[in-house]
Structure 1
Amino acid sequence: MQVGNGSCMAEPSLDYLICLTKLFVDWIELENVEDYLNCVAYLLWVFTPLIIVFILPFFFIIFFYLSILFLHVYKRKNELKEAYSNSIWDGARKTLATLWDGHATIWHGYEIHGLEKLPDDGPALIVYYHGALPVDYYYFVSRVILLKGRTIHSVGDHFLFKIPGFKPLLELFNVLHGPKEECVKALRNGHLLAISPGGVREALFSNENYILLWRNRTGFAQVAIDAKVPIIPMFTQNVREGFRSLGCLRFSRWLYERFKIPLVPVYGGFPVKLRTYLGDPIPYEPNVTATELAKKTKHSVQSLIIKNQRIPGNIFWALLERFHTGHKED
């Protein structure tokens, strides 16, 4: 070390940083540096896939906030027009719908089957399976706006309204957090309304077996009965292969059950094939109870899953479906 220091000090023209680098290399020897670099390269190679699958979901969060930023700019630009027009936000809604639909097409080859079962006008209650990150539902709402010119009202969990900055986006797309009377009111006003009875619980703790976690919920059925509207079941193929949640973690389960905090790691963002299927409408029947209607609806959604989804879900096969048009094999 003293020899190295002497040689460095003997060359006053050397930059101080170069001098330190030379001392460091002389100390650990060049072959050790190569070993360290090889080790770092190996660790990066091993952990890169793991890093990617946990980073990709953040890109969707960024996409959300870019949408919100667009709304703020749009609002500032159209402040005067807004005072004279009730439809000023139609442009913003269609612009964001176009962006989300473009992402759906490019990243997932997104398709909707049975769109003709959705009425062109008049109310209906859409009941769907909730993915870990329900990007399929965002895509569905966007495409319905573009193809049918209708904005679906949605029932969202309370925690959505507590996320910083999300309020403008929720208002633009008519997201409700209840109560039941508001849902009935939206339907009686002629709107489409969508709800996932499994909600956040299903998003976090369902898995690649696509188990419906509805418990004994019948509120959605009572809403349909009170509003006298049909129920349209809906399911998106491979939604659990696009994003998955680590709901098997005991601490996350305890945290949600105790405090209703949805703190469960989500990974994915894989460009799997997504196909949304709409089932046959379940018509309103005045003599059917909410419990009976809830069971019938659950059976319809389960039938869509069984018919269209490979169980257990497989990310590799879901990726391959991007390259062929085949559906689930019997």
Structure 2
Amino acid sequence: MSWFSQILENWISYPYLEEYLTSVVHPWWLLMLLILLYSPLICSLLFCWALSFLLHIYRKMNNQQESDVSKIWEKPRKLVAQVVHIFGKIWNGYEVIGMEHLPKGPGVIIFYHSVTTTEYNFLVAKLFKQQRQCYSVIDHALYRIPGLRTFCDVIGLKDFSKDECVEILKKGHFLGLAPGGGREANFSNDYNIMWGKRTGFARIALEAKVPIIPIFTQNCCEIFRNIGKTRLTRWLYEKTRLLYLPIYGGFPVKLRTYIGEPIPYDPNITATELAEKDFFSPPCAPEFAPEGPSKATPPVGDSVSTTKTAIENLRDKYQKRPGSILRALSERFDKHYKTN
């Protein structure tokens, strides 16, 4: 800074420039540095803005106006997916277990909403790499942040309506959403699911006649954490739905996404039952069982769990509670854990 101020002083002949920079500019630079270091949300927005700007230039160079349907966006999607995938692999040792459970056709992917959904982004990037398009439902406030529209359209992020969601599924794509939304991201404690009475995702799956795929990512709440969970902030969120508590973190904890067995489409099940309650399917009668071992389908079990129960089962099986950042960090180097 002294060298820089000396150049400016010689250029504009302002003898008190260095003193001014020391007393005013230096603290501001320090403040900006602290914001960048301790506010991952701002860093993420800056990264998305930069990508959106580059994609906007790319669209202008190729004279494309409809960024969400044009095939010219396949290469940018693959590039972004590759960058995100490499970052997840290096920084969080990201793994996906249960890819065989994903159907070849469309499906609704339901996940627990952590503070930043970083782990879900890694899964979407992996699907992009495998030529599987996954659209994601986000809050309308996020979609309307100035400067991010192009980035969101290219990646498939939008506050889709119910009809748009059904149309996406009928085209053969995946649709990802977190029923807990901002409430779960802000105020969930120790992986508790906070869905309330939301059953919209189940109605979409029933109307599109597609399965629901429950997923859960181990240690997803240990990457970032937030502060400020009080009655006042909860009240403000319920009134405005715009509140996002301050966060800290970015820890290189171990992340494993577990994909559960799909919950098949059943026209006899209501949206409320599919979202919240347990229902049971009768065992297959022997006389209707397929002949020959090669044609037999492995049984899923007598009890067919609903979405919320399925995610809770994945959580209880693979997540140690209460969560611990140190334990999640140590799992990056635990050979016995890797073997299991």
Q: Which residue of 1 aligns with 2:259?
A: 278
For residues 144-155 of structure 1, what are the structure 2 equivalents within 5 Å?
144-146=127-129, 148-155=130-137
Deviations 1:216-238 (A, max 9, x none): 11111111111111110011111
TM-score by length of 2: 0.76
Deviation at 1:297, TM superposition (A): 0.5
Distance 1:247 1:236, change over 3 A: farther
Residue of 202, 208, 211 corresponding to 1:221 = 202
Q: Is the 8 A contact 1:235 1:301 kept in 2?
A: yes
Q: Is the 8 A contact 2:52 2:148 kept in 1?
A: yes
Q: Which residue of 2 aligns with 1:23?
A: none
Q: Which residue of 2 aligns with 1:132?
A: 115
Distance 1:279 1:306, change over 3 A: same
Deviations 1:77-135 (A, max 9, x none): 3337999x931110111111111111111111111111121123x21111100110111
Residue of 240, 243, 246 corresponding to 1:265 = 246
Distance 1:80 1:123, change over 3 A: closer
Mapped partners of 2:215, 2:164: distance in 1:
22
Q: Which residue of 2 aligns with 1:291?
A: 272
Mapped partners of 2:49, 2:267: distance in 1:
44
Mapped partners of 1:144, 1:318: distance in 2:
25
Q: Which residue of 1 aligns with 2:213?
A: 232
Distance 1:162 1:183, change over 3 A: same
Deviations 1:245-298 (A, max 9, x none): 225133322221111112311111111111111000111111111111102100
Q: Is the 8 A contact 1:202 1:213 kept in 2?
A: yes
For residues 48-67 of structure 1, what are the structure 2 equivalents within 5 Å?
54-67=38-51
Q: Is the 8 A contact 1:180 1:223 kept in 2?
A: yes
Mapped partners of 1:160, 1:325: distance in 2:
40
Mapped partners of 2:227, 2:244: distance in 1:
10
Q: Which residue of 2 aligns with 1:41?
A: none
Q: Which residue of 1 aligns with 2:181?
A: 199
Q: Is the 8 A contact 1:123 1:192 kept in 2?
A: yes
Q: Which residue of 2 aligns with 1:322?
A: 332
Letter of the 2:223 counterpart: G
Residue of 183, 191, 213 corresponding to 2:165 = 183
Q: Is the 8 A contact 1:308 1:327 kept in 2?
A: no
Mapped partners of 2:81, 2:272: distance in 1:
36
Deviation at 1:65, TM superposition (A): 2.2
Mapped partners of 2:35, 2:154: distance in 1:
34
Bigger radius of gyration, 1 or 2? Answer: 1
Q: Which residue of 2 aligns with 1:31?
A: none
Secondary structure at the aligned position of 1:100 is classed as helix
Q: Which residue of 1 aligns with 2:139?
A: 157
Secondary structure at the aligned position of 1:322 is classed as coil
Count of residues paired in the alignment:
281
TM-score by length of 1: 0.78
Q: Which residue of 1 aligns with 2:310?
A: 300
Deviation at 1:210, TM superposition (A): 0.2
Mapped partners of 1:174, 1:80: distance in 2:
16
Q: Which residue of 2 aligns with 1:102?
A: 86
Unaligned ranges ≥5, structure 1: 1-15, 21-43, 45-49
Mapped partners of 2:274, 2:175: distance in 1:
17
How many percent identity over aligned positions?
Answer: 44
Quote the RMSD (CA, aligned, Å). Answer: 2.7
Mapped partners of 2:309, 2:134: distance in 1:
23
